Structure 1
Amino acid sequence: MSVAMWDLVPVRCRWIETLRHCGKTLLRRQRRLLRRIKKVYLHSWRSASELNMLVGAKVGGATPLVIACRNGHYDVAEYLIERCKADIEQPGSVTFDGETIEGAPPLWCAAAAGHMPLVRLLVRAGANVNSTTRTHSTPLRAACFDGHYEIVKFLVENGADIEIANRHGHTCLMIACYKGHIRIAKYLLSLNADVNRKSVKGNTALHDCAESGSLHILKMLLGHGATMDVDSYGMTPLLAASVTGHTHIVEHLITAEHGLVSRQQRIDALELLGATYVDKRRDMVGALALWKRAMDDRFPADGSEPIPKPKDIPRIEAYDYAVEPSNAQQLEEILADPDAMRMQALVIRERILGPAHPDTSYYVRYRGAVYADAGRFQRCRQLWHHALDMQRAVLPPLSPLTQSSLYSFAELFSYMLAERARPPLRGRIVPPVTFEDIDPVFRKALSEIDRGMELLESKLSIDREQTLTTLQRVLVISLHLAALMARLLEEPECTDEVSRKIHKAVYSLVKLDIRVRQGRSALHIACSAEGARARGGSGAWLPAPGDAQPCCGALVALMLRLGAAPDARDADGNTPLHLACKLNPCPSDVVRALLTHGAHIDTVNYEGETPEEILKSTQQSLTAIVNPLKYTTLKCLAARTVKNYRLPYRHVVPQCLHSTIITH
């Protein structure tokens, strides 16, 4: 797959059949549960407590009533409510469009799925119309999301609050505008919904409408007093429409007769829309026409005061030191150079949106990916470094966007190494990956780890477990890059100077002595399944390239030579050797490297398991990898004998040997 596709195309689910099978299995379990409930109810000799237990039982995180409401089984829901006295407020987990909703009450499920009879049944039974999920989404908001107008109207008539927002501050009106549901938006506006209410990130319903492209709803909002507010990124609805490429929204808002925007705002909108034409629509002529209109606005023919472009904008190497044209003639000249047009789009976007806006770095990375597809890897790296530097300058430590940029570099280098190992395709020659290519990215990854460790040590109120998880993801990326450098050591052309630099770079990772989730060190991660698969929680993670897995003997041996502790223990008492032996197949080169550098072959974890016993549990054999006798010392045998026969050693054996006995 091309580098651009890695970055920009969502990963397709490769487990459709498995998921379908699991879904059928779950449905069968749910049906069995419902049959058991009916059987218990019909046999009056069974206790009421047993019936309550069955009605409240969860299968796949959902109660029978939640399952019935989600799938529209009116008869089952009626039976559970009226005859089994099921709790109509007991929440469960349900899935909509592939997303799992936690803590969803039955009424929320029925409203989201559009089952009007069930909604009436639940409300008639006394369900709370303003109950919420874990993310504070109400049944009314769920109905607004999917455009169930009749349910929206019914819930409002029965006391639903139209102003309850979810945890992100998004109201029912906002989601109706974003999804383009005109009837619902009109109905909510007739109820005097707050048109200028802001979400947590500062956007209003007008922002959502501008992003979705519904001109009809936009006109309704303006008619009800919507104002051109800015969000936390400094974006107005006008700029939001320009970024998403909704030309009809932009044209309506900049019309002079409305008086909604200033002249400067109109110029910025046209220039930004032109940049969107270049990168999103690939319409160079259309972009040039928009930039000409903006230029005419800057220098009007009626003699009005001109608004020249800022002159203090620094020239950026990644953009080929591009300078924005200052007149119509210069604009015409760049049309003949597609690369110049693309760089203009990046310069304009960074000037108007600023480096903090996600779209600024996104399109820089996108353009770099396109260059990589064309074999222009140096240009790709230049642009990606610029995007990464912007992100690190303005985003908090361990940001998912920063992680994604770092991982893209690891993926690019892996792709280049893999391509060089294959015969050239159509004469395309991929340049070698050098230490000078990897090292700047590696240092930035370590800097991000430093920032994350400082965040953990600070007194700020943070989710410590989540921070450790994101820190581990950055550590995995760093290990990918270190693994690539370890591979360079094995190449014949690797000089002593390059070897010294690689050792120094990897040592800077080892000496951090970092501990992440479950108390694991960098060497633990390098030897574990987490390191080998490199999977994480946010939607930005992709599977690790096979050629760059951290779990490789070269990297582990290098880390051990540089002082990584082979006997370090995690929260479960596992050493790196324990984790390596849990892999199937077990990496023999990693096991040999660990044993050679002092790992004990018979150390037990807190479950009392040795690495050899772990291997046996996966039908693998230690003797197939190494000769155990070669790594078994007399001290180990003596400690094992004392432990196995439970000999009293506290006041017999010297204190310094107690830890050896305990670990065996």
Structure 2
Amino acid sequence: MSSGVWDLMPVRCRWIETLRHCGKTLLRRQRRLLRRIKKVYLHSWRSADELNMLVGAKVGGATPLVIACRNGHYDVAEYLIERCKADIEQPGSVTFDGETIEGAPPLWCAAAAGHLQLVRLLVRAGANVNSTTRTHSTPLRAACFDGHYDIVKFLVENGADIEIANRHGHTCLMIACYKGHIRIAKYLLSLNAEVNRKSVKGNTALHDCAESGSLHILKMLLGHGATMDVDSYGMTPLLAASVTGHTHIVEHLINAEYVLVTRQQRIDALELLGATYVDKRRDMVGALALWKRAMDDRFPADGSEPIPKPKDVPRIEAYDFAVEPSNAQQLEEILADPDAMRMQALVIRERILGPAHPDTSYYVRYRGAVYADAGRFARCRQLWHHALDMQRAVLPPLSPLTQSSLFSFAELFSYMLAERARPPLRGRIVPPVTFDDVDPVFRKALLEINRGMELLDSKLSIDREQTLTTLQRVLVISLHLATLMARLLEEPECTEEVSANIHKAVYSLVKLDIKVRQGRSALHVACSAEGSRSRGGSAWLPAPGDAQPCCAALVALMLRLGASPLARDASGNTPLHLVCKLNPCPAEVVRELLAHGAHIDTVNYEGETPEEILRASHQSLSAIVNPLKYTSLKCLAARTVKNYRLPYRHVVPTCLHSTIITH
């Protein structure tokens, strides 16, 4: 046996171990890749380029060297670098804590995983210590994230730049402070890291430290000149600590020997921390004590000028028109009413943080969800509408937060319908879902769709494909809400007035004539698998009792209101094509489409008819309808012309050309 084989054998054993870390689905393909590398290496007279090609090949988005560096297999990496001359800068995709990192160089993988010996090997081989992933993260930042101090020190000593930030503007110091890695933060500060540098959203290392709750690091930052700056939401590190509930950070900042905050900032911090005690810790007594301290600061006993609460704060119906107490006695009175304490927390948070801060709407939605769990659905909807209105007023079109709020409404209505279909649990009676419940949410969803369409029509620089994707998600939510309304038409108690209002509401969706991803219309989406799916392919909300992803009642209603059954998407599919791709195919939807003019023999751009699509999934059109009933003489003639490739231009009237083409 040649020496080359003996060189490879011990490496191969470790290689197989490496492959097992990468997932069983990739194991067989990666073994095959290794065998090819071995074969080419032992017969190098064939082609040195082929070995380079195999060593650089990607399986599951990762090269052999990336896989070895991610999983800490030093011998494999050494063999690939020194014997196979692998490209030490070729990036790949790796997974850490369930998150896929795209474009990660081998050095980044080794640093992130904490493999110091591999880091040394790669640097010795000439790897760029400042190479980055697609999100502009360096190996040094990756090591700072998980607290690998020895790797951080080694990289810095070999030229790593401590000030390179990722795409969000987060530096190595910021991430070390956020993750609470004291030793790394101290080391970076000793290198004169820029302590007051701001990220894209305006936060500093002091903000990150206050959010994570590390008092030791906070003191180090202040000792190196950190200042109390505000981020893009107007948040100071003091308020950041109050929002996250880190009492020890708040106390240190407001009681420091040297003045760090103003009196007004101290009052706001105590009041906001009290709101956090109510909603996050459920500590009413602790919250009241903090609010009393803030009240004492507002009206000091030493005769200093008082700082009364603002008088122009509007009373909000969703908060039961709550008014903030103006003295200690009023504070004591609300302690006996837990609901009043909760509303106070929401009022204080909205006043101090403002409607633009994500935490403001988050806690309003959270409180609504608690009410829903208790069966108080009307209060839930009231709070959620207020949160949605705040988001739509301050957030850009198609914001993920707005989508989430709309989705929560759809989820709530589906839950209520499902609960009503079951026997009452412990005497709990769930109220019916009415048109008046669904319609306000549906209208807000359509307004969001309009904003998205205007964004697409504008000349702004946007990621068009991403915008179409998010627009489709909002459309899916709107279609689910429309499904709920279409089902109300089937209820015996549905009045003529409600029926007319439902038709008007759904017509407002149909007349938008929206086009989303792949050029699909609202009817396309309603008839497709996307109609019941969302982010990452997970299920949206199938309607209660439905095994099918599209609702015949909604499709029928949209067709009656003018939605075209002959519309084509970018692949030439009509809604009927998409319905037939479902397994099982919803027969009632097929019948509705055919009854409103869809053609069973229309071909898409792949030359497939709906019947052929059904046959491919072992389903039969004849089991759903009688095909002859929906086949006209014109269709048969067009099919004959097309199948036999008969010349028809200048022979048949121009008005019939489109009929021939579609068949």
TM-score, normalized by length of structure 2? 0.96
- Maintained 8 Å contact 2:468/2:516: yes
1:532 CA drift (Å): 2.2
In structure 2, relative to structure 1, the CA distance for the partners of 1:550 and 1:387 (3 Å cut) is: farther
- Maintained 8 Å contact 2:163/2:172: yes
CA displacement 1:145-180 (0-9 Å, x = unmatched): 000000000000000000000000000000000000
Q: Relative CO higher for 1 or 2, CA cutoff 8 Å, sep ≥ 6?
A: 1
Q: Secondary structure at the match of 1:647?
A: coil
1:44 CA drift (Å): 2.6
Q: Distance in 1 between matches of 2:376 and 2:491?
A: 24
- Maintained 8 Å contact 2:318/2:383: yes
Q: Distance in 2 between matches of 1:32 and 1:252?
A: 60
- Maintained 8 Å contact 1:572/1:606: yes
Q: Distance in 1 between matches of 2:401 and 2:230?
A: 23
CA displacement 1:130-152 (0-9 Å, x = unmatched): 00000000000000000000000
Q: Secondary structure at the match of 1:9?
A: helix
1:339 CA drift (Å): 0.1
- Maintained 8 Å contact 2:414/2:543: no
CA displacement 1:593-622 (0-9 Å, x = unmatched): 100000001000000000000001111111
1:199 CA drift (Å): 0.3
CA displacement 1:577-604 (0-9 Å, x = unmatched): 0000000111111111100000001000
1:659 CA drift (Å): 0.1
In structure 2, relative to structure 1, the CA distance for the partners of 1:529 and 1:235 (3 Å cut) is: same
1:548 CA drift (Å): 10
In structure 2, relative to structure 1, the CA distance for the partners of 1:421 and 1:328 (3 Å cut) is: same
- Maintained 8 Å contact 2:417/2:544: no
Q: Distance in 2 between matches of 1:312 and 1:617?
A: 67
Q: Distance in 2 between matches of 1:77 and 1:544?
A: 52
Q: Distance in 1 between matches of 2:353 and 2:450?
A: 29
Q: Distance in 2 between matches of 1:151 and 1:15?
A: 24
In structure 2, relative to structure 1, the CA distance for the partners of 1:55 and 1:622 (3 Å cut) is: same
1:455 CA drift (Å): 0.4
- Maintained 8 Å contact 1:535/1:542: no
Bigger drift between 70-79 and 14-23 goes to 14-23
In structure 2, relative to structure 1, the CA distance for the partners of 1:478 and 1:281 (3 Å cut) is: same
The yes-or-no answer on 1:647 pairing with 2:656 is no
In structure 2, relative to structure 1, the CA distance for the partners of 1:7 and 1:335 (3 Å cut) is: farther
In structure 2, relative to structure 1, the CA distance for the partners of 1:548 and 1:446 (3 Å cut) is: farther
Q: Distance in 2 between matches of 1:14 and 1:541?
A: 43
The yes-or-no answer on 1:636 pairing with 2:635 is yes
- Maintained 8 Å contact 1:4/1:373: no
In structure 2, relative to structure 1, the CA distance for the partners of 1:21 and 1:105 (3 Å cut) is: closer
Q: Distance in 2 between matches of 1:15 and 1:241?
A: 47
1:46 CA drift (Å): 2.4
- Note the residue ranges of structure 1 that are not aligned, 5 or more in a row: none
Aligned-pair identity (%): 93
Q: Secondary structure at the match of 1:220?
A: helix
In structure 2, relative to structure 1, the CA distance for the partners of 1:235 and 1:8 (3 Å cut) is: farther
Q: Secondary structure at the match of 2:625?
A: coil
1:23 CA drift (Å): 1.5
Bigger drift between 1-10 and 91-100 goes to 1-10
1:33 CA drift (Å): 1.8
In structure 2, relative to structure 1, the CA distance for the partners of 1:6 and 1:482 (3 Å cut) is: farther
RMSD over equivalenced CA pairs, Å = 7.8
Q: Distance in 2 between matches of 1:130 and 1:15?
A: 28
- Maintained 8 Å contact 2:18/2:71: no
In structure 2, relative to structure 1, the CA distance for the partners of 1:428 and 1:536 (3 Å cut) is: same
1:36 CA drift (Å): 2.4
- Maintained 8 Å contact 2:473/2:534: yes
1:537 CA drift (Å): 8.1
Aligned to 1:235: 235
Q: Distance in 1 between matches of 2:6 and 2:357?
A: 22
Aligned to 2:554: 555
Q: Distance in 2 between matches of 1:302 and 1:641?
A: 99
1:38 CA drift (Å): 2.4
Aligned to 1:13: 13
1:45 CA drift (Å): 2.5
The yes-or-no answer on 1:570 pairing with 2:569 is yes
- Maintained 8 Å contact 1:355/1:394: yes
In structure 2, relative to structure 1, the CA distance for the partners of 1:502 and 1:541 (3 Å cut) is: closer
1:536 CA drift (Å): 5.1
1:250 CA drift (Å): 0.4
In structure 2, relative to structure 1, the CA distance for the partners of 1:5 and 1:108 (3 Å cut) is: closer
Q: Distance in 1 between matches of 2:432 and 2:121?
A: 68
Q: Secondary structure at the match of 1:10?
A: helix
Q: Distance in 2 between matches of 1:423 and 1:4?
A: 73
1:544 CA drift (Å): 7.8
- Maintained 8 Å contact 2:418/2:544: no
CA displacement 1:315-334 (0-9 Å, x = unmatched): 00000000000000000000
Q: Secondary structure at the match of 2:509?
A: helix
TM-score, normalized by length of structure 1? 0.96
Q: Secondary structure at the match of 2:23?
A: helix
Q: Distance in 2 between matches of 1:97 and 1:413?
A: 34
In structure 2, relative to structure 1, the CA distance for the partners of 1:56 and 1:530 (3 Å cut) is: same
- Maintained 8 Å contact 1:93/1:101: yes
CA displacement 1:181-218 (0-9 Å, x = unmatched): 00000000000000000000000000000000000000
Q: Secondary structure at the match of 1:548?
A: coil
- Maintained 8 Å contact 1:238/1:253: yes
1:419 CA drift (Å): 0.6
In structure 2, relative to structure 1, the CA distance for the partners of 1:581 and 1:61 (3 Å cut) is: same
In structure 2, relative to structure 1, the CA distance for the partners of 1:186 and 1:123 (3 Å cut) is: same
Q: Distance in 1 between matches of 2:14 and 2:449?
A: 32
Q: Distance in 2 between matches of 1:5 and 1:244?
A: 59
1:256 CA drift (Å): 4.9
In structure 2, relative to structure 1, the CA distance for the partners of 1:15 and 1:312 (3 Å cut) is: farther
Q: How many residues align?
A: 663
The yes-or-no answer on 1:479 pairing with 2:479 is yes
Q: Distance in 2 between matches of 1:18 and 1:412?
A: 46
1:662 CA drift (Å): 0.3
- Maintained 8 Å contact 1:3/1:369: no
Q: Secondary structure at the match of 2:426?
A: coil
Q: Distance in 1 between matches of 2:319 and 2:189?
A: 46
- Maintained 8 Å contact 1:279/1:345: yes
Aligned to 2:164: 164
CA displacement 1:456-478 (0-9 Å, x = unmatched): 00111111111000000000000
- Note the residue ranges of structure 2 that are not aligned, 5 or more in a row: none
Q: Distance in 1 between matches of 2:77 and 2:12?
A: 35
1:560 CA drift (Å): 0.1
Q: Distance in 2 between matches of 1:365 and 1:584?
A: 37
In structure 2, relative to structure 1, the CA distance for the partners of 1:9 and 1:258 (3 Å cut) is: farther
- Maintained 8 Å contact 1:535/1:544: no
- Maintained 8 Å contact 2:14/2:73: no
Q: Secondary structure at the match of 1:225?
A: coil
1:7 CA drift (Å): 56
- Maintained 8 Å contact 1:143/1:151: yes
1:535 CA drift (Å): 3.9
- Maintained 8 Å contact 1:515/1:522: yes
1:68 CA drift (Å): 0.6
1:261 CA drift (Å): 0.2
1:511 CA drift (Å): 0.2
1:257 CA drift (Å): 2.1
- Maintained 8 Å contact 2:14/2:76: no
1:12 CA drift (Å): 36
1:533 CA drift (Å): 2.5
Q: Distance in 2 between matches of 1:493 and 1:21?
A: 60
1:6 CA drift (Å): 57
1:310 CA drift (Å): 0.2
In structure 2, relative to structure 1, the CA distance for the partners of 1:267 and 1:294 (3 Å cut) is: same
In structure 2, relative to structure 1, the CA distance for the partners of 1:11 and 1:651 (3 Å cut) is: farther
In structure 2, relative to structure 1, the CA distance for the partners of 1:513 and 1:266 (3 Å cut) is: same
- Maintained 8 Å contact 1:52/1:86: yes
In structure 2, relative to structure 1, the CA distance for the partners of 1:628 and 1:201 (3 Å cut) is: same
Q: Distance in 1 between matches of 2:613 and 2:38?
A: 46
Q: Distance in 2 between matches of 1:2 and 1:215?
A: 62
- Maintained 8 Å contact 1:7/1:366: no
1:651 CA drift (Å): 1.1
- Maintained 8 Å contact 2:368/2:380: yes
- Maintained 8 Å contact 1:535/1:543: no
In structure 2, relative to structure 1, the CA distance for the partners of 1:6 and 1:49 (3 Å cut) is: closer
In structure 2, relative to structure 1, the CA distance for the partners of 1:376 and 1:356 (3 Å cut) is: same
1:43 CA drift (Å): 1.9
